[in-house]
Amino acid sequence: MFKALGEPVRLRLLSLVASHSGGEACVCDISAVFDLAQPTISHHLKVLREAGLVECERRGTWVYYRVIPAALQQLSSLLSESAADGVSA
């Protein structure tokens, strides 16, 4: 998960999907934010999906992405543990 989020574009995509109205976003909804081609954005979303951070659903010709809440909770827990370990060290 951290490796997938190490790319700034993917971190921003995750944030945009998570904060999008209704909790899900289509590539067509977020592609205008980036100076990247739609296939490149789709590739980054695929990496996030393979890392278990987002899930998707095809509706007609569009694919809608939404963040997996359990994945964000897992990341939050890991970061909290790391912060706590760093404080006691």
C-alpha span between 87 and 89 (Å, rounded): 6
What CATH architecture does domain 2-88 belong to? Orthogonal Bundle (1.10)
pLDDT tens-place values along the chain, 89 residues long: 889 999 999 999 999 999 998 889 998 888 889 999 989 999 999 999 999 999 999 999 989 999 999 998 988 888 887 777 765 54
Would you put residue 58 in left (φ > 0), alpha (ψ -120 to 50) or beta? Answer: beta
pTM of the model as a whole: 0.83
C-alpha span between 17 and 53 (Å, rounded): 11
Q: Any idea where the domains of the chain sit in the sequence?
A: 2-88
